[in-house]
Structure 1
Amino acid sequence: MSPHDELLKRLGVDIDAETLRLALTHRSFAYENGGIPTNERLEFLGDSVLGFSVTEHLYREYPDLSEGDLAKRRAAVVSTRALASIARRLGVGEFIYLGQGEKVTGGKNKSSILADTMEALIGATYISNGLEPARQFVVGLIEPLLADAAVLGAGTDWKTHIQELAASRQLGPIHYAVIGDGPDHARTYTATLLIGGTEYGTGTGNSKKEAEQQSAANAWKVLGTDSAASAQA
């Protein structure tokens, strides 16, 4: 089985070979290979297909949600973080054509590159198969995320929410202890959220900001339980 066949098997779609290769061609690779076409036009198209497909799915499947709640859910599942998580789950990074500079700086695991490539693959699915298969492809990708509370919070500023909650409960000062691990080109950060000297949550990410947001989201789960609230009463 060729690498492209393996990727298509993981994606569960059929994309013609030329369009698939284009969808996987990052601009860094194109620049180093004589300015060949990149996946950016497919990314542009895929972004629109993604937005429409998610909007329609939410409208049909969640008839009781308000416009504001629908918008929040859409923002969460079309976010860079959510799309990158899908790409990592499918192992898309190993198939992306990257320039040498991006390769040595961990480009295959960068959230921005992974998310852009997923949009390009959605665009490629539309070009090869039409709207309905592309819509079904998108729905299949995002349905698991809609059941994940942490993902639905991806568009939420958890650090602000925690700040407001800690102040309202007078829990004490907030501090994020962040450590980095790994080489500079593929560094992973772990953040621990301390409120009043007590540890409430940890999170990891490819940047300090991402790790802090994840730790705040996890802390929110702890502070949102009745037991945590009563313990702090």
Structure 2
Amino acid sequence: MKDIIFERLQSRIGYRFEQAERLRLALSHRSVGAQNNERLEFLGDSILNFIVGEALFTKFTDAREGQLSRLRAQMVKGETLAEIAREFDIGPCLLLGEGEMKSGGHRRDSILADAVEAIIGAIYIEAGMETCRERVQAWYQTRIEALGLDTPAKDAKTRLQEYMQSRQQPLPDYRVAEVEGEAHAQVFTVECHVSLLDTPERARASSRRVAEKKSAAQALKRLGV
């Protein structure tokens, strides 16, 4: 069963491993024993920082070092990596020890983020930097395209929540209005209900969390924030 799941994951990430054991190792949490993904995660973290940094350096030719560092931090933080992991549905593919399985480790942001970094490290070892760069850039394309030098450090959901709290208003309410597609390639439509707006903001994305953030960003725009 795991072999079928691994096959589908490779289709989603856009890379097929010549040695399947490399992918298996990248998905092995330390709870399974000594053969785990921690070393690959270490390598992938370094490569990810370089590739994203390079992409930002190329996109923002007039940006200062501090601006580039801030944007890179947003792109490589655990929350962003966990979102990517969920878009690829990595959770069911993880190899976890019994304790982690029982505690829901396949849903934990830190474990999902580590697995993405480990997969990057595994691709680099097998195929080299050019292939690794091409894959990471593809995964991050829409996120980097959406960035601007004035992109705030806090995400839209956090900013909308703080805005509503500052005005003693109820917190935003996010509701899934529609789910389309197969289980491995779902698209979520989310509504953001805000007491200061007469109609909710709707947004679509391949991840519920991303759709929520998009709807929050639209709400902020309507509120003039």
User: TM-score when scaled to structure 1?
Assistant: 0.67
Residue among 217, 222, 228 paired with 2:219: 222
Match in the other structure for 1:115? 113
Q: Classify the secondary structure of the residue corresponding to 2:167.
A: coil
Post-superposition offset of 1:178? 8.7
Quote how far apart the aligned CAs of 1:67 are: 2.8
8 Å contact kept, 2:161–2:172: no
Amino acid in structure 2 at the alignment position of 1:72 = R
| Counterpart mapping for 1:148-187 below 5 A | 148=146, 155-156=153-154, 172-173=167-168, 176=171
Q: In the superposition, relative to structure 1, how do residues 193 and 71 fare at CA in structure 2: closer, same or farther (>3 Å)?
A: farther
Q: 2:30 aligns with which of 27, 30, 35?
A: 27
TM superposition shift of 1:166: 7.2
State whether residues 29 and 99 of structure 1, in contact with CA within 8 Å, keep that contact through their aligned partners in structure 2. Answer: yes
After superposition, the C-alpha distances for 1:190-217 in whole angstroms (9 at most, x for unaligned) are xx997xx757999xxxxxxxx9xx9899
Residues in 2 aligned to 1:164 and 1:107: alpha-carbon distance in whole angstroms: 30
Change (3 A) 1:69 1:40: same
Which of structures 1 and 2 has the bigger CA Rg? 1
Instruction: Check whether the contact 2:161–2:171 (CA below 8 A) recurs between aligned residues.
Output: no
Provide TM-score, normalisation by structure 2. 0.69
- Alpha-carbon separation, structure 2, partners of 1:94 and 1:154: 33
Between the two proteins, the alignment pairs up a number of residues equal to: 197
Match of 1:85, SS state, is helix
1:138-157 matches, cutoff 5 A: 138-148=136-146, 155-156=153-154
**Distance (whole Å) between structure 1 residues aligned to residue 87 and residue 213 of structure 2:** 23
The two structures, once aligned, show a CA RMSD in angstroms of: 3.8
Separation of aligned partners in 2, 1:3 and 1:157 = 32
Q: Is the 8 A contact 2:157 2:216 kept in 1?
A: no
In the TM superposition, what are the counterparts of 1:36-185 in structure 2 within 5 Å?
36-148=34-146, 155-156=153-154, 172-173=167-168, 176=171
Could you tell me which runs of 5 or more consecutive residues in structure 1 were left unpaired when the two chains were aligned.
31-35, 180-191, 203-210
In 2: Cα distance, 1:83 partner to 1:63 partner: 25
Distance in 1 (CA, whole Å) between partners of 2:59 and 2:157 is: 30
